[in-house]
Structure 1
Amino acid sequence: MSLDTPQTESRSERLTAHEALQRLEHERASRLTQLRAIGEAGRDAEEQVLSAQKDTIQRVLTEVEAAITRVRDGSYGVCQNCSKPIPVERLEILPYAPLCVPCQRSIP
Structure 2
Amino acid sequence: MSLDTSRIEPRPERLTAHEARGRLAHARDTRVTQLRALAESGQADDQPTVAQKAAIERVLKEIEEAFGRIEAGTYGTCQGCGKPVPGERLEILPYTRYCVACQRRAAA
Which TM class, normalised by the smaller chain length?
0.7 to 0.9
Measured in 2, the distance between the counterparts of 1:89 and 1:44 equals: 36
Residue 21 of structure 2 corresponds to which residue in structure 1?
A: 21
Percent of aligned positions that are identical: 56
What do you get for the CA RMSD once the two structures are aligned? Answer: 1.3
Contact kept, 8 Å, 2:44 with 2:50, in 1: the verdict is: no
TM-score (norm 2): 0.84
Residue 4 of structure 2 corresponds to which residue in structure 1?
A: none
Aligned: 1:71 with 2:83:
no
Aligned: 1:61 with 2:67:
no
Tell me the alpha carbon deviations over residues 33-58 of structure 1, each in whole angstroms, 9 at most, x when there is no partner. 111111111x2477111101101100
- Structure exhibiting the larger radius of gyration computed from Cα positions: 2
Higher relative contact order (CA 8 A, sep 6+): 1
Measured in 2, the distance between the counterparts of 1:78 and 1:45 equals: 37
TM-score (norm 1): 0.84
Count residues with an aligned counterpart: 96
Name the amino acid aligned to 1:73.
Answer: A
Question: Structure 1: any 5+ residue segments left out of the alignment?
Answer: 1-11
